[in-house]
Structure 1
């Protein structure tokens, strides 16, 4: 193996090789001569990792968001790249994109099946490539022996999408054209095996062959490796960090808090919120955290405090919604001895206790107008007076406020002081609900699994693909707090050595989440979940259907009429569509905790459509 790439110094190449292999898992294999279709993961198990969530426009594969794209559109993108960059640079770019995709799939497969059959873990790459619609893979020869460091793979690729689009645009070529697919195979094998594996296309359909024939070997067994590494472009690859981007996303230099929950997430919405946090943390600005209940506002506040210059001073938290009206002032500002019956001694309030540090006021929108006016004075003047006191007390407090209501609307309706709103809204940060950061759900599931397994002394084998997909497509009205609750319940319900599945989350025989829309063994979409979004673990029978109809009749006659009409027991609907719509909207609002946007997503409607029907009630 040579030490230089075309036009690149050897040092960059060596650094490149260390870079791409530094964090990969070594696959230990004694001997395998062919892929065993009965191994773990099987093709059927890989198919089970596919989930469709049309209600929010998402497709998931092995916990990664995917995209369906017309083959002709892919061909158009490819043509534009070639015309804009030239064929060599376009080939390098597509090879690197393929490498990243293969490396990501290898990382997901290793995590999903840590005890998987070794040969099947490797063969999952070609199978995933087929699931993703790129190519049909036929195994010609496969040999791997870790004892002697031997590796050899030979495949036939049939119906290659990349070759097909190249022919459609340029006709037959003198050179192989499956650049992105070669990058995928090399990235998957190198990531999984922990050593640089290079695949080359010996024959290609784009050159007029009936199929593409590819061979993969360790890099040192190939001659003239410079050309292969040139397509990966070591210097450019390292400078842009294209390989690691997306595989690992860290909260840049925010300190970890001992004995505190961690900030976990890689989604765009989460990263945007954390970047705002990083920007405001070193300042003294007042911060307003907004977002639904359960999104992690208190954790963000604690992280912000730890990242600020006040990290070594007190962080005092107060949930304003838990305070009775007659105790708000005393709790915030303190009490002088004898101020009222029972005040036998003086004590400081939250503002005094937080002086020099940070005061976190959660659910600030629940405070009365009287309490709001006193907080406003404390923020404006930097001083307070205890209840029953006459001497002003200077305080140096940074306030972080949080609310799950729209304070602008509260101001408009006279329930929140406008001047206090502007005093708090110096630097607002909106924390997204979990349904807007679904890419974080597998990470959060793994984090909570480790946390609660340690807490409860359990040793689970992992989480099933079916459960991952079910939670990826669930609406989560309770956000991260609800996910945490579900995983803790699953840890307790599942036995040691068992894989956590959907049925482990059941509440009184009914699972709060439904199996997602996925693929059957025949490659067709499975049946969608029930319209309500919740599915009983008990199979449906005629007797049970009658029981459901009777229950619906007792609680909602409109639903009973609909069920009777759909089942054919009644020839007429027996109720108006408006009444059925009203019932569905009411049910969705109840399940979303009054959140109109979430209710609209449950029903497959726009927010405006739900609002219109609410006005017509």
Structure 2
């Protein structure tokens, strides 16, 4: 079976359509060239830095994009099945369009990764990336580009094409070229980068018996019979559904922006799933329970949910329950009548009253005492409250959004959370994934925070270094989005205007970031930084961590448990103090949360703090 020329007529070039589709990428083009050197190509070191491996997460990253290694024989088998199932022309068109997508996305990433490159240097990065991805070895024959007059001409020789090897293995030599996906890649890369439709053609191909594959690329309007190429690209149908359609930015969730201007940013599957659940429940009156680790953005989700609800023009009242002293919980939630206790000189409403007609967001609700939980349960069930020191019931219409970083089911089993309140809150649970489970969103969040903090602090940075991007893509992020936000803000302040933010600008965070990064050396070998217990294995996040050398009490306890010492070399009081200190560090100084970590009461922790 050998390819034949497409029999269907093509369609004329719609210049207006392509200007609309590709014009939004003109912002990627800049006019300065000094980052790639005199050769106009990235150095071997720069290319190596664009690759990062995260085996603990099963991820490979190239210029901030997640990649996949696939055996050449598996690709060949897929290609053969497409040809057999669709027919040769349709399979050729599909593979050409897949190649276009890959090339266009590489162009967008390269432009963001090396923002100081000009047309020539950015364009020349494409063939090198194509080689790095294992598709073909590229030899430049002729390359001309003049942005001022819109001139473009490119001619290459392709050697060792994977696609041709698989085609010849399946069908032998024939009379038509076979580099379908690679032609699509070259066309998509050049078109996306230059903001105009560029089409490549294969004039010679090893599948036709030639010694190498020779391709030529130039603007679409300069080809006389462009209809044949457009028949395979099918641009009117394909591009309108691609990432280059003019409608909507796929990098930001399609939700109302909260009044504070903070956006929910992400394209990962777990983030999209959580966003869709939010969209589904927002128009209803249902109680929502947001769960997830500290720093994943529960408050932002709550504000976005309120903004997307029918209560968007009513108050949104937020309360972090973990910050309330035990003796002020009821007064803060339900209000106080004048004279209720010493110092209550006037009556004041609580959070439930202030949120009447709107939404009440209760963050870290698991930190409340059982007594306070029972009061909240009554308010939810009856729709009424009583102020502290009052006797008259007050009707309240409040939609409650609760949030916690603890497993409430386990808290119920442990007797620290009321079962009836759990079921009242758990009407519509939404779990927000940690940042390590939505790594595709890290480059988007980095760019968003860079814009935000550059405007806030009046800075103009050149972006991020490839080393920093790869370090952040492979970092575990125990502090999640809040930690990433703080890192980027620190870098914006530390870096100079016109400079790219690098690991060195993140001060003490730099070393932990680089310890887990794995990348390519200039010789094409894998290498990694200094290993830590956390990044040494895929199970690192769940395995016991090494004891801090600065904690002799814990070292003594470990030695005692291991049987290395017959006598415990520290006092129980010292161990308790050390455990309390560790819990306080992990809870950010929150005594109530630290007490819950240790299975103690807040009073017990406070007593030990006074004793220390």
Q: Report TM bin, short chain.
A: 0.7 to 0.9
The alpha-carbon deviation at position 390 of structure 1 amounts to 1.1
1:59 aligns with 2:60: yes
The alpha-carbon deviation at position 31 of structure 1 amounts to 13
- 1:23-56 Cα shifts (integer Å, max 9, x gaps): 1227879999xx9763364343122110011111
Structure 1 residues 101 and 501: CA distance shift in structure 2, 3 A: same
DSSP 3-state at the match of 1:463? coil
Checking the alignment, whether the CA contact within 8 Å between 1:29 and 1:119 is kept in structure 2 is no
DSSP 3-state at the match of 1:360? strand
1:505 aligns with 2:476: no
2: CA distance, partners of 1:88 / 1:424? 56
2: CA distance, partners of 1:372 / 1:92? 62
Q: What are the residue-to-residue correspondences of 1:345-356 with 2, within 5 Å?
A: 345-356=346-357
The alpha-carbon deviation at position 376 of structure 1 amounts to 1.0
- 1:492-530 Cα shifts (integer Å, max 9, x gaps): 222222221112112298555436211111111123432
The alpha-carbon deviation at position 400 of structure 1 amounts to 0.5
Structure 1 residues 434 and 477: CA distance shift in structure 2, 3 A: same
Checking the alignment, whether the CA contact within 8 Å between 1:512 and 1:534 is kept in structure 2 is no
Structure 1 residues 8 and 117: CA distance shift in structure 2, 3 A: closer
1:101 aligns with 2:102: yes
The alpha-carbon deviation at position 534 of structure 1 amounts to 8.6
DSSP 3-state at the match of 2:52? strand
The alpha-carbon deviation at position 271 of structure 1 amounts to 1.1
Q: What are the residue-to-residue correspondences of 1:25-174 with 2, within 5 Å?
A: 25=26, 38-39=39-40, 41-174=42-175
Structure 1 residues 328 and 128: CA distance shift in structure 2, 3 A: same
Structure 1 residues 442 and 331: CA distance shift in structure 2, 3 A: same
Q: What are the residue-to-residue correspondences of 1:319-330 with 2, within 5 Å?
A: 319-330=320-331
1: CA distance, partners of 2:283 / 2:31? 54
Structure 1 residues 397 and 251: CA distance shift in structure 2, 3 A: farther
Checking the alignment, whether the CA contact within 8 Å between 2:56 and 2:535 is kept in structure 1 is no
- 1:330-368 Cα shifts (integer Å, max 9, x gaps): 111111111111111111000000000000000111111
2: CA distance, partners of 1:413 / 1:246? 51
1: CA distance, partners of 2:510 / 2:436? 25
2: CA distance, partners of 1:512 / 1:24? 32
The alpha-carbon deviation at position 147 of structure 1 amounts to 3.0
| Match of residue 17 from structure 1 | 18
1: CA distance, partners of 2:212 / 2:553? 62
- 1:306-353 Cα shifts (integer Å, max 9, x gaps): 111111110000001111111111111111111111111111000000
DSSP 3-state at the match of 1:506? helix
DSSP 3-state at the match of 1:24? helix
1:471 aligns with 2:472: yes
| Match of residue 318 from structure 1 | 319
The alpha-carbon deviation at position 113 of structure 1 amounts to 1.3
| Match of residue 385 from structure 1 | 386
| Match of residue 544 from structure 1 | none
The alpha-carbon deviation at position 9 of structure 1 amounts to 6.3
Structure 1 residues 344 and 418: CA distance shift in structure 2, 3 A: same
- 1:263-309 Cα shifts (integer Å, max 9, x gaps): 11111111111111111111111111100000000001011111111
2: CA distance, partners of 1:235 / 1:393? 61
| Match of residue 363 from structure 2 | 362
DSSP 3-state at the match of 1:347? coil
| Match of residue 283 from structure 2 | 282
2: CA distance, partners of 1:329 / 1:508? 40
Consecutive unaligned residues of structure 2, counting only runs of 5 or more, are: 1-6, 537-547, 566-578, 588-612
Taking structure 2 as the reference length, the TM-score comes to: 0.83
The alpha-carbon deviation at position 245 of structure 1 amounts to 11
Checking the alignment, whether the CA contact within 8 Å between 2:503 and 2:510 is kept in structure 1 is no
| Match of residue 257 from structure 1 | 258
Structure 1 residues 508 and 444: CA distance shift in structure 2, 3 A: closer
Checking the alignment, whether the CA contact within 8 Å between 2:253 and 2:272 is kept in structure 1 is no
Consecutive unaligned residues of structure 1, counting only runs of 5 or more, are: 536-549, 562-573, 577-585, 595-617
- 1:554-580 Cα shifts (integer Å, max 9, x gaps): 79989xx9xxxxxxxxxxxx989xxxx
Question: Matched residue pairs, number?
Answer: 550
2: CA distance, partners of 1:100 / 1:286? 42
DSSP 3-state at the match of 1:174? coil
Structure 1 residues 445 and 76: CA distance shift in structure 2, 3 A: same
Checking the alignment, whether the CA contact within 8 Å between 1:493 and 1:504 is kept in structure 2 is yes
Structure 1 residues 440 and 168: CA distance shift in structure 2, 3 A: same
Structure 1 residues 250 and 516: CA distance shift in structure 2, 3 A: closer
Taking structure 1 as the reference length, the TM-score comes to: 0.83
Write out the 4+ residue segments of structure 1 that deviate beyond 4 Å after TM superposition.
Answer: 5-11, 13-16, 26-32, 242-248, 250-253, 508-513, 550-558, 589-594
1: CA distance, partners of 2:55 / 2:247? 24
Structure 1 residues 28 and 243: CA distance shift in structure 2, 3 A: closer
Structure 1 residues 591 and 213: CA distance shift in structure 2, 3 A: farther
Structure 1 residues 286 and 30: CA distance shift in structure 2, 3 A: closer
1:294 aligns with 2:295: yes
DSSP 3-state at the match of 1:22? helix
DSSP 3-state at the match of 2:152? strand
The alpha-carbon deviation at position 116 of structure 1 amounts to 1.2
| Match of residue 496 from structure 1 | 497
2: CA distance, partners of 1:31 / 1:431? 42
Structure 1 residues 170 and 552: CA distance shift in structure 2, 3 A: farther
| Match of residue 333 from structure 2 | 332
The alpha-carbon deviation at position 243 of structure 1 amounts to 5.2
Q: Please, which moves more after superposition, 331-340 or 497-506?
A: 497-506
| Match of residue 194 from structure 2 | 193
| Match of residue 523 from structure 1 | 524
2: CA distance, partners of 1:472 / 1:507? 18
2: CA distance, partners of 1:215 / 1:19? 25
| Match of residue 456 from structure 2 | 455
Structure 1 residues 555 and 144: CA distance shift in structure 2, 3 A: farther
The alpha-carbon deviation at position 237 of structure 1 amounts to 1.1
Checking the alignment, whether the CA contact within 8 Å between 2:30 and 2:116 is kept in structure 1 is no
